[in-house]
Each structure stands twice: as structure tokens, then as C-alpha cells.
């Protein structure tokens, strides 16, 4: 497939592997910088839910897990919050994209809030005398919640409107296979998530699934987000975390679980019952719809039970460039030599916080691509490079 020529004269595309929230935001960031983009994906946002495609299984509210001294993660999270907050500035436009502002309350037992939360609008610490039984600390602030399907659809529309191409492909086993879809790509951006475990050139077994199970319930009277953290957060995967996340559609996500290296794809009934119990402890209003004369059975509100595999990496997000020599793949049909070197920018390993840092990671990945293209040069010479927003 030959990519369309960009306004800056660049005809060879940047290939992005993966069309989750990470891959699609990266595509938009690159397109806005003037790069032609080809997104290759086995699973597209419009496909039925799958545990392997965690973007649509996520709770998807913006709640940073960045430790006080983790400046890179703080930057990525703040950048993403700023984009989402700006998109929700016009309420109607925000709701069209599935982004809704709300008040978020965090309840803690055995831990304190992360300092980054203090930078969010309307932050306040609750008076200890007002805390519910079993809670040692609580804070509230304003944040945003995201309707994944709606926002992913917005990203797809943005990619195509900016001239990018999305193509469904069989599951790729190697970067060499990706390269066969476009002649002489400028670079490949690896947004494969859990797929990085098996991609021939990465074989990153430090990426493991952290299984999450959530419930989608219909409860449009719930307008405030609630989270309870019992025990240390430990970089997003520690302790027991219970959450109630309202969405613009009137649905509410109840969760959750964190089960490392658990590949069970089907919902567990006992987990569903436990989630309902815990959600009612932090948000009793779930059982009290407006005008109801007696408590409602929340189990009757459940629309679906959803399982997702968070692509969690032991050392956190991998966001860097690497020069890779393609091996063992015959790409001669495209006139390319086996064993040729290629710039790969990795953008994977986001665990359970992909939605919290997607735009920050996308902008950083696009910046790295620009630096690598400028460093190595592109066909068309220096004049082309000066025009592109590298």
C-alpha cells in the first residue's frame, strides 16, 4: 500500500501497530505534525469487546497513579489531563466525545493521597471528623471521566480526517510483517500493549496481564466518582481498589480487581458479587434511584460484566527509540533487503493507566519520531525536514 503524500512532501508513512487509546492518540499526534500515518491493527475499536483490547474494558477516568518523585509519569499524566479538561470545556462538545467533568472523591485506608492530586481543580482534604467508618483519609477534586467507545470513535474519525489510514491486518508476529504493508516507512511505532510479549523483535516477557473485572450498570442518577484504596497503591497495582465511575451516557462502571498473570477471559460470578458489595459500601446511592420507595437490588442494574487484561510492564512504560534489524522475514516483494535496519519507537506497557497518560505518551512518541527522522534524514532532503514539524 502506498501512503498519500503529506503536505510537507513526505510520502513514506510512519507505521503504528495497534489501535487502542495509545496507538490512536499517537497517530493523531503524528498527523498533526505533518507525518503520513498508517495504523495497522488486528483489533479495531468497533469490534466486540475482548480482554486483549483493554482500551474498551477500562474504567477510563483520569486519576493519576504517579508517585511524587516520578516526574516523567507526572508530566505524561498532567499533559493528558490538560487535553481532556480542555476538550470538556465546552460541555456539549465534551459529551459528544464521551468526556465529562465530575467531582471525584478518594477514600483511603492505610495510605494517603498522591501529591499530584493537589494540582487538580477544586482539590480539598476532608475533615477527619466527617469520614465514614474504616476510612482514615479522604480528598475530593474535579476530574474527567471518559466513555471509551465514544472517544475511540472520535480518535478514528480524527485520524481519517487528517489523512491517516487504518487497516485491519492479521495478528502480527514481527515488525518485518508490518513493514510489508508500506514501502520504506519512516519509522514504526510499537503500540502493541500485551502483544509486546510475543512480537519477534521485542519478546518482552516483563509485560504481563493484570486481569481486571468491572461491571457496567445503568444508574444515571450517579454523578460523582468514588474510589476507595485499601493499602498502598504501589504504582497502580497495589492494595484493594474499589471504584464507582459515572459516564456521560448514564452508565456507571463498578470495579475492580487486579489479578497479575491471570488469563481467565470470562467473568467470575463471585467477583461480580464482591464488586457490587464493595461499590455499595462507598456509594450507597447506587441502591437508591430517585423516587424509589425502598432500596434497589443493584445486581438488577448490571448491563454487562467486562474482563480486560491490563498490559502491565515490570519497569513501567517503555517509551523510547531503538534501531532494529529485521531478521527472518522475506520482504523482497516490496523491493527491500532482508536484514535492513529500521527505527522503532516503543510506546507500550501502560498497565491500568493508559487513559490517564495517553496524550502525554502520544506527544512524546511523536517528538521522538521527529528527532529520529531529523537525525537520519528523509528522502526529499533538508528542505522537506525544515517544513515538517519535527
- Residue set of the binding site for D-dopa: 243, 310, 352
* Alpha-carbon span 262 to 252, nearest angstrom: 25
φ, ψ for residue 338, nearest 5 deg: -65, 135
- Judge whether 1-60+147-206+314-390 and 100-144+208-312 match in fold: no
Q: Which stretches of the chain are DSSP H helices?
A: 21-32, 71-87, 91-97, 148-161, 175-179, 269-282, 354-376, 382-387
254: cell is: 463498578
Q: What's residue 335's pLDDT? A: 52
- The 3-state DSSP composition of the chain as helix, strand, coil percent (nearest 5) reads 35, 25, 40
181: cell is: 504493508
- Three-state DSSP at 38 gives strand
* Alpha-carbon span 25 to 68, nearest angstrom: 26
* Alpha-carbon span 390 to 377, nearest angstrom: 12
According to DSSP, residue 352 is labeled G
Contact 79, 29 (CB under 8 A): no
Tell me the β-bridge partners of 319.
347
* Alpha-carbon span 53 to 38, nearest angstrom: 19
Quick count: other Cβ atoms within 10 Å of Cβ 354? 25
Quick count: other Cβ atoms within 10 Å of Cβ 304? 11
Q: What's residue 235's pLDDT? A: 58
Quick count: other Cβ atoms within 10 Å of Cβ 93? 11
Q: In what order do the strands lie in the sheet with 165-168?
A: 165-168, 37-41, 14-17, 187-190, 341-348, 318-325
Note the Cα 146 to chain centre separation in Å.
Answer: 11
- Residue set of the binding site for FAD: 169, 192
Domain ranges of the chain: 1-60+147-206+314-390, 100-144+208-312
Q: What's residue 2's pLDDT? A: 41
Q: What's residue 378's pLDDT? A: 62
Q: What's residue 8's pLDDT? A: 46
Fold designation for 100-144+208-312: D-Amino Acid Oxidase; Chain A, domain 2 (3.30.9)
Residue ranges of the chain whose pLDDT lies below 50: 1-9, 329, 331-332, 380-390
Query: In terms of residues, how long is the chain?
Result: 390
Q: What's residue 140's pLDDT? A: 98
Query: What is the CATH number that goes with domain 1-60+147-206+314-390?
Result: 3.40.50.720
pTM score: 0.90
pLDDT for 62-95, tens place per residue?
999 888 889 999 999 999 999 999 999 888 888 8
**Residue 325, H or E segment:** strand 318-325
Q: What's residue 384's pLDDT? A: 39
Listed in sequence order, the residues at least 6 apart from 129 whose beta carbon sits closer than 8 Å to its beta carbon are: none
305: cell is: 460484566
- Three-state DSSP at 175 gives helix
- Residue set of the binding site: 169, 192, 243, 310, 352
Q: What's residue 299's pLDDT? A: 84
Amino acid at each position: 500500500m502506498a501512503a498519500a503524500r503529506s503536505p510537507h512532501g513526505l510520502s513514506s508513512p510512519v507505521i503504528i501497530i495497534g489501535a487502542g487509546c495509545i496507538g490512536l492518540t499517537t497517530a493523531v499526534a503524528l498527523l498533526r505534525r505533518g507525518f503520513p500515518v498508517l495504523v495497522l491493527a488486528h483489533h479495531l475499536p468497533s469490534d466486540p469487546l475482548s480482554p486483549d483490547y483493554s482500551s474498551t474494558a477500562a474504567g477510563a477516568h483520569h486519576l493519576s497513579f504517579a508517585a511524587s518523585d516520578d516526574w516523567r509519569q507526572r508530566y505524561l499524566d498532567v499533559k493528558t489531563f490538560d487535553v481532556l479538561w480542555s476538550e470538556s470545556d465546552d460541555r456539549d462538545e465534551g459529551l459528544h466525545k464521551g468526556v465529562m467533568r465530575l467531582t471525584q472523591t478518594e477514600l483511603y485506608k492505610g495510605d494517603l493521597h498522591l501529591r499530584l492530586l493537589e494540582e487538580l481543580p477544586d482539590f480539598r482534604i476532608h475533615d477527619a471528623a466527617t469520614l465514614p467508618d474504616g476510612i482514615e483519609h479522604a480528598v475530593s477534586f474535579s476530574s474527567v471521566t471518559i466513555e471509551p467507545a465514544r472517544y475511540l470513535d472520535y480518535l478514528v474519525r480524527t485520524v481519517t480526517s487528517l489523512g491517516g489510514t487504518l487497516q485491519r491486518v492479521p495478528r502480527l508476529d514481527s515488525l518485518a510483517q508490518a513493514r510489508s504493508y508500506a514501502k520504506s516507512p519512516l519509522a514504526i511505532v510499537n503500540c502493541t500493549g500485551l502483544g509486546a510479549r510475543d512480537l519477534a523483535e521485542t519478546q518482552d516477557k516483563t509485560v504481563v496481564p493484570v486481569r481486571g473485572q468491572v461491571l457496567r450498570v445503568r444508574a444515571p442518577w450517579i454523578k460523582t466518582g468514588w474510589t476507595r484504596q485499601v493499602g498502598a497503591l504501589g504504582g497502580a497495582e497495589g492494595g484493594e481498589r474499589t471504584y464507582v465511575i459515572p459516564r456521560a451516557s448514564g452508565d456507571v462502571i463498578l470495579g475492580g480487581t487486579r489479578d497479575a498473570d491471570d488469563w481467565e477471559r470470562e467473568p467470575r460470578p463471585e467477583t461480580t458479587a464482591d464488586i457490587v458489595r464493595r461499590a455499595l459500601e462507598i456509594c450507597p446511592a447506587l441502591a437508591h434511584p430517585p423516587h424509589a420507595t425502598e432500596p434497589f437490588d443493584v445486581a438488577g442494574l448490571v448491563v454487562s460484566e467486562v474482563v480486560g487484561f491490563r498490559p502491565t510492564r515490570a519497569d513501567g512504560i517503555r517509551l523510547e527509540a531503538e534501531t532494529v534489524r529485521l531478521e527472518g522475514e522475506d520482504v523482497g516483494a516490496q523491493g527491500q533487503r532482508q536484514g535492513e535496519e529500521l527505527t522503532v519507537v516503543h510506546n507500550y506497557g501502560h498497565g491500568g493507566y493508559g487513559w490517564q497518560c495517553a496524550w502525554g505518551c502520544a506527544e512524546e512518541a511523536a517528538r521522538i519520531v521527529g528527532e529520529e527522522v531529523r537525525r537520519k534524514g528523509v528522502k526529499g532532503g533538508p528542505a522537506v525536514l525544515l517544513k515538517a514539524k519535527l
